[in-house]
């Protein structure tokens, strides 16, 4: 495992091309603040991604970690859902292999799940 993977445990990718009038700086700021409030700023790498091909349901994010399941969520408002995004990251990091069995702690995100992919 690389030093970056060991230090961060997971990557949270934010779609930056979903349609609509968006304030990407406000979205990124809200997510970063929610991660900091949850004490996750050192465990989550926040990264932009060009497109998840879920344009019909903007905005899309993914959660990934080395040796962990991957998740795709769509239909989010990143500013309004920032707390639920942080809660989902915490749940993900607390689950063996990132496999979330009980998503109640994820708030509204549990209703926005589009894909859950087992680790390789």
pLDDT tens-digit series, residues 81-108: 999 999 999 999 999 999 999 999 999 9
Q: What distances in angstroms separate CA 60 from CA 4, 56, 104, 105, 109, one per listed residue?
A: 24, 10, 20, 19, 11
In the prediction, which pLDDT does 19 show? 67
In the prediction, which pLDDT does 4 show? 45
Q: Which two tokens stand for residue 102?
A: 């009980």
In the prediction, which pLDDT does 2 show? 47
pTM of the shown model: 0.91
Domains and CATH numbers, the chain: 3-117 (3.40.30.10)
In the prediction, which pLDDT does 5 show? 45
Higher pLDDT, 2 or 57: 57
């Amino acid at each position: 495992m690389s030093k970056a993977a060991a230090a961060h445990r997971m990557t949270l990718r934010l779609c930056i091309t979903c349609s609509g009038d968006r304030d990407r700086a406000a979205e990124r700021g809200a997510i970063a603040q929610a991660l900091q409030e949850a004490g996750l700023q050192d465990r989550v790498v926040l990264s932009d991604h060009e497109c998840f091909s879920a344009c019909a349901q903007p905005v899309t994010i993914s959660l990934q970690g080395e040796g962990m399941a991957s998740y795709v969520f769509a239909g989010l408002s990143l500013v309004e859902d920032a707390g639920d995004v942080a809660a989902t990251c915490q749940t993900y990091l607390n689950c063996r292999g990132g496999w979330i069995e009980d998503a109640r702690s994820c708030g509204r995100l549990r209703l926005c799940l589009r894909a859950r992919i087992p680790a390789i």
